[in-house]
Amino acid sequence: MPNSESAVFPQPESLGEPTTREIQDQEARSSIGAAHHVVEAMYDAINRRDLEAAMVYIDPDCVYQDLNFARPFVGKAAVRQLFNEFCQGLPDDLQLVIDDITCGDGPTVGILWHVELAGIPFPNGRGASFYRLSDQTGQIVLARDAVEPPLKLGHVAFWIIRLVTPLVRRFLTPTDATTSATNDGTESAAPRLFPWAALLLWAIAIFYTYILILSPPGQWLPGEPIWAIQPETIHEVVAESTNFWFILPILNHLGIHFIEAPVIHPITEALFNLAEAWIAMFLPLLLLDRRGQGLPKVSIWGGALFLTNVFFTPYMALRASNPQVQDDQPPQKTLLARMFALVGLGVGTGAIAWGLFARPEFGDWMARSQYLLMQLTTNRVAIAFGVDLVFFAVFQIILMGAIEPQNSRKRWLRFIPLWGLGVWLLI
């Protein structure tokens, strides 16, 4: 087995007399000793946009893992395609600059690098790479590039790790159905596959939480995140909660004034109470959902009702990881379901009427429509409620479709937001 000082490097094939560049490359390869020289020579070839010279240092069985891509590049042809895209698609003055590199005698090399454009450091252009050389060919047989991410999560990354850790522990726990026999006859557990739907819903839940609740002002959305919330926003949220389901405004209108209802824009009240009425009707829907058996349905529903939809999306992800349940029997709806339907339909319909006609001092329907549009483009709280309504419509379709039998003539009700759910619970 040759050591790194005596590794054999392939010589490029050429027809006829070698060119000046080929002679230089042959001389460079003949002088290469330690593994770090291989990596430095490859970087130099890439910076010259000399694809053939760079490929000299790639093993035929190379596995190149660029973490910007979902899958590794396996084999010399795949790595050539990756290098070719870099060499052909980027300006010549964009260079990979080595900041530091390990210089041992072994077959592995670690490197810190950054990208420069015309001598100017490129934004988010730093990275670290690891390379392993083959003992047989002296070429790079394994590479992994870790590139600086454009989105700096900071402390949010720790929060996401804490959120995801118990989920990974739960869903990657080996089960009896996923054990396989090893060579010595014992059973080796393989991780349980995570359904794509569940992965997608978890991704939505994480992005929902970050973008709507945690992202800095102006990064993705206008308005302030929860960690920099302003007194005006707190006052708005408290006022909306005080006028929950319009109970206080109605009592004040009837002459009962033990607590005065805050006077806020009727569109704001309508958006808040429409979402609250809709999610209220989800409780009987969740209780009828057999696929969600074993999940904390009431707790999740309560968090969604009194806080935010951030509690409800994880339920849909957890539910999607459970096996599907086939049931051709129509659901048995209780008196509780019908009571929630009546309340939800009453408050939801009343919220729209309230937004259009209540508190005349706030203008006509045209002025209110303009105010709604302004809120949905500038106010993060209003944007969150708008996103919640979209999610509720999608989740209603999924849950009702799973509960109502395929041959039922009532399945079409799931496509009618809010009112379809209310009518379905009643009949």
The residue segments making up the domain with residue 68 are 4-9+19-147
- Say what the pLDDT of residue 167 is: 57
- Asked if residue 188 is part of any domain, the answer here is no
Q: What is the pLDDT of residue 154?
A: 65
Beta bridge partners of 113: 98, 127
**Residues ≥6 apart with Cβ < 8 Å to 164:** 202, 206
Q: What is the pLDDT of residues 209-239, one digit of tens each?
A: 888 888 887 778 888 887 777 788 788 888 8
Same domain, yes or no: 135 and 215? no
User: 219 with 338, same domain?
Assistant: yes
Considering the domain architecture, whether residues 279 and 353 belong to the same structural domain is answered as yes
- How many domains does the chain fold into? 2
The whole model's pTM is what? 0.56
Asked whether residue 185 is assigned to any structural domain, the reply reads no
Q: Cβ distance 348 to 274 under 8 Å?
A: yes
Q: Which pLDDT belongs to residue 18?
A: 58
pLDDT at residue 178, rounded to an integer: 39
Residue 186 maps to a domain: no
57 exposure class (CB count in 10 Å sphere: 0-12, 13-18, 19+): buried
Residues 258 and 379 in one domain: yes
Same domain, 225 and 294: yes
Whether residue 324 is contained in a domain is answered as: yes
Domain shared by 140 and 208, yes or no: no
Q: Interior CA angle at 171 toward 169 and 174, to 5°?
A: 85
User: What was the pLDDT predicted at 188?
Assistant: 41
Predicted pLDDT of residue 381: 87
Domain boundary among 130, 147, 164: 147
Give the model's pLDDT for residue 322: 79
386 and 246: one domain? yes
The 8-class DSSP code of residue 211 comes to I
Q: Would you say residue 157 lies in a domain?
A: no
**CB-CB neighbours of 350 under 10 Å:** 18
Assess whether 224 and 140 both reside in one domain. no
213 and 311 part of one domain: yes
pLDDT value of position 155: 64
Residue 154 lies in a domain: no
| Residue ranges of the chain with per-residue pLDDT less than 70 | 1-33, 150-195, 326-328
pLDDT of residue 313: 83
DSSP secondary structure, 109-153, as one string: EEEEEEEEETTEEEEEEEEEEEEEE-TTT-SEEEEEEEEPPSS--
In a domain, 207, yes or no: yes
| Whether residues 305 and 377 fall in one domain | yes
What is the rounded distance in angstroms from the CA atom of residue 116 to the CA atom of residue 125?
8
Please tell me the predicted confidence (pLDDT) of residue 8. Answer: 42
The answer to whether residues 257 and 354 belong to one domain is yes
The domain that holds 140 is classified in CATH as: 3.10.450.50
Residues 207 and 331 in one domain: yes
**Percentage, residues of the chain above pLDDT 90:** 37
Report if residue 184 sits inside a domain: no
